[in-house]
Every structure is written in C-alpha cells, then in structure tokens.
Amino acid sequence: MTYFVIGPNGAQYGPADLATLQQWARDGRILPQTELRDAMTGQSVRAAQLPSLVFAPPPYSAQPHYSAYPRAGFYDPISQSDVTTAWICAVFGLLCCGPISVIGIVFANKAIAKGNDGGRAPQIVAYVALALWILMFFFRILVFGSGL
C-alpha cells in the first residue's frame, strides 16, 4: 500500500510505501495526527490509524528535571538549618574542639548542594578550624614529645 502525506498547508507529498512512512515516523517527519491519503482509494486517514507505524516520541514531551540545575541565588529554605548547624560546628571547632569542624564541613556541603551559597563561609571556617587543630596536634607532639 502507498499513501500520500498531506502537509499542514494542504500540499500532497508522495506517494510513499509503508516502509518509507515507518522511517519518516521514526524520524519524527510525520506525526500521529498527520493526514495520509491512500493512493489507490483516495481515502484519508490519520497516521496513528495505521498500526504498522511506530512514532518517535514527541519533541520536548518530557518535563525538565529542574533539581539537576544549579539554583543561582535560590535555595531550599530547609537548607538554612544546615547553614546554622555548619556555623555552630565550625565556630566550636575553631574555639575548642577541632574535630567537630568535620561535622560543620558536612552540613556546609549539604547546604551548598541544596543551592544555598550561605554554606560557603562556614565551610571555609570549618576547614580552617580543622587545619589549625591538625597543626596544633603535630606542634604538641614536636614540642612535648609523644608523652601527651
């Protein structure tokens, strides 16, 4: 069987056999709503009515997954608690207990991953606190020996 493809402007193209129509359907050149006219009988049908045609997915049919994109300046309000926790751990690590700054780094990274750039400052403070604690640890070993 052969069919003419009727364009949106009413122009007639073809005739084309089923194998050619199938290729055009896979390529997206004809859509399910495209009008086809049987070359023998002149009867018009929609392309979707031919069971042998498999159509390409419609363009832009899938909604973009916005969470995969950076949110320049916009963030999840819940991430503000991560920033607060990061600040507390970073300052506490800086003042007295360096290893706790690792927790600050984790919470700062979580906030940044959620799009909250407010997590950058406590992240830096936590890294500094951890680095100072490590330096002080080795300094104590050098000065006082291994008898801590």
Three-state SS at 67:
helix
**Residue 3 pairs with which residues in a beta bridge?**
16, 38
pLDDT tens across 83-106, in order? 999 999 999 998 988 899 999 999
All residue ranges of the chain with pLDDT < 50 are: 64-73
- What is the predicted pLDDT for the residue at 108? 93
Whether residue 80 contacts residue 46, with contact meaning beta carbons closer than 8 Å, is answered with no
For 61-70, how does the pLDDT look when each residue is reduced to its tens digit (9 = 90+)?
Answer: 555 444 444 4
CA distance 33 to 108: 52
Note the pLDDT of residue 120. Answer: 93
Instruction: Please tell me the pTM assigned to this model.
Output: 0.48
